[in-house]
Amino acid sequence: MRITVLTGAGISAESGLPTFRASDGLWEDHRIEDVATPEGFARDPELVHRFYNMRRAAASEAQPNAAHRALAQLQDHHDLTLVTQNVDALHERGGSRDVIHMHGALDGALCAECDHRWPAPAIMSPDDRCPNCAAPATRPDIVWFGEIPYHMDRIWTALEGADLFVAIGTSGNVYPAAGFAQHASRNGVECVELNLQTSMNARDFDRQIMGPASETVPEWVATLL
């Protein structure tokens, strides 16, 4: 079966990484416009690097959970396209291959001057120089608000060609990911949501499986093996 899966912060919550919009989430303590926009980075690169250095450290200490591992198992049995909005590497560390990081990744660095990419050091700073052009313009390779997510052509194609689209642990607040179910549905694809709480776009899915991802994902995957 051809399956396209979209994951969000909820799949990594039980690995100890905070989601964004929960009452104790990242957007309670940090203003989106300060740490997740190009304008915020231009205003205060030190603050932005500190935010992502902290998240990089937390993500490297976290361990993949049963939901990440179940999706790796699914890939062994089906034609799976795994798209994540998450910037951690828990899918890869749980055994998944060829993960599409549409919002970038904490382990990547990007030069804002020449677009060169390289592996991010544990601690990034505004003084770092690009190894390609030497400009002091290094930034985390993260897609910020107002920027275009990565690999969109490949993702739309995978949505249109799927037999099944499944969204896991995402609140449906951020486009284009929040529009994937509607797009897949219009192409005749069955859409299923696995989530802890009802998402903003719940009506775009044919059915919901509610509960913590570490339980619902392995149970759902088991039905397909």
Q: Rounded to the nearest whole angstrom, what is the least distance from the CB of residue 50 to ligand OAD in the complex?
A: 16
224 part of the interface to ligand OAD, by CB under 6 A: no
CB nearer ligand OAD, residue 138 or residue 171: 171
Q: What are phi and psi of 209, to 5 degrees?
A: -120, 110
Instruction: Give the residue, chosen from 4, 15, 19, 81, that forms a contact with ligand OAD under the rule CB under 6 A.
Output: 19
Q: Is 103 a catalytic residue?
A: yes
Spatial CA neighbour of 49 closest among 133, 142, 113: 142
Which residues contact residue 135 at a Cβ distance below 8 angstroms, ignoring those fewer than 6 apart? Answer: 111, 112, 113, 114, 129
DSSP for 166-225? EEES--S-STTGGGHHHHHHHTT-EEEEEESS--TTGGGSSEEEES-HHHHHHHHHHTT-
Spatial CA neighbour of 102 closest among 31, 154, 146, 138: 154
By residue count, the chain amounts to 225
Question: Distance between CA atoms of 62 and 16, rounded to whole angstroms?
Answer: 6
195 part of the interface to ligand OAD, by CB under 6 A: yes
Strand ranges of the sheet holding 104-111, from the earlier edge strand across to the other edge: 117-119, 104-111, 138-142
Instruction: Give the residue, chosen from 3, 6, 13, 17, that forms a contact with ligand OAD under the rule CB under 6 A.
Output: 13
Closest chain position to ligand OAD (CB): 10
Q: Rounded to the nearest whole angstrom, what is the least distance from the CB of residue 143 to ligand OAD in the complex?
A: 5
202 part of the interface to ligand OAD, by CB under 6 A: no
CA distances from residue 130 to 23, 150, 205 in whole angstroms, order as listed: 37, 21, 44
Q: Rounded to the nearest whole angstrom, what is the least distance from the CB of residue 188 to ligand OAD in the complex?
A: 25
Q: Rounded to the nearest whole angstrom, what is the least distance from the CB of residue 31 to ligand OAD in the complex?
A: 12
Catalytic residue among 49, 91, 101, 103: 103
Q: Rounded to the nearest whole angstrom, what is the least distance from the CB of residue 175 to ligand OAD in the complex?
A: 10
CB nearer ligand OAD, residue 62 or residue 196: 196
Bridge partners (DSSP) of residue 3 are 80, 164
Residue numbers at the binding site for ligand OAD (CB under 6 A) = 8-10, 13-14, 19-21, 25, 36, 85, 103, 143, 145, 169-171, 173-174, 195-197, 199, 212-213
Q: Which residues are catalytic?
A: 103
